[in-house]
C-alpha cells in the first residue's frame, strides 16, 4: 500500500520547513520507501508500519505547535507492491515521454 501524507503545524508562521525537516528525519530513519514532494510525502509498505510512521511524524510536529493538521490519502491495491516508481513509469509509457519528478 501507499500513503500520501502532509503535516501542517498551525500557529508557527508561514514557514514550517524546520518542523518538516524533523518529520522527514523520522521517515528517513524508518527505512520505508518514500518520495518527498513540495506538498507532502508518499510512503510505501504495510498498513501498521505506515500508520505508525505517520503517527510518529504527527507527534513530532505537535512538539512545536498546539495544533497540527495531518492529511492522509491511502492507496491500497491488493497484490500490487513496489508501486512507488512503477505507477508513474506506467503513465510515462502511455504518454510517450518522461515526467518531471
| pLDDT class of 25 with cuts at 50, 70, 90 | very high
2-95 has which CATH code?
A: 3.30.70.930
Please determine, for residue 5, whether its predicted confidence score (pLDDT) is greater than 80. yes
Question: In whole angstroms, what is the distance from residue 58 CA to residue 76 CA?
Answer: 21
Phi-psi bin for 27: left (phi > 0), alpha (psi -120 to 50), beta? alpha
Percentage of residues in the chain with pLDDT exceeding 90?
69
Q: Per the structure block, which three cell numbers stand in for 62? A: 505537535
Between 14-18, 22-26, 45-49, 60-64, the lowest mean confidence (pLDDT) is in: 14-18
* pLDDT averaged over every residue in the chain: 91
Amino acid at each position: 500500500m501507499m500513503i500520501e501524507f502532509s503535516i501542517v503545524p498551525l500557529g508557527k508562521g508561514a514557514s514550517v520547513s524546520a518542523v518538516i525537516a524533523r518529520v522527514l528525519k523520522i521517515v528517513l530513519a524508518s527505512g520505508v520507501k518514500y518520495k518527498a514532494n513540495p506538498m507532502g510525502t508518499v510512503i510505501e509498505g504495510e498498513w501498521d508500519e505506515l500508520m505508525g510512521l505517520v503517527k510518529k511524524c504527527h507527534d513530532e510536529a505537535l512538539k512545536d505547535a498546539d495544533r497540527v493538521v495531518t492529511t492522509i490519502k491511502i492507496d491500497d491495491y491488493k497484490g500490487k507492491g513496489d508501486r512507488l516508481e512503477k505507477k508513474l513509469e506506467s503513465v510515462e509509457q502511455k504518454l510517450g515521454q518522461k515526467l518531471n519528478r
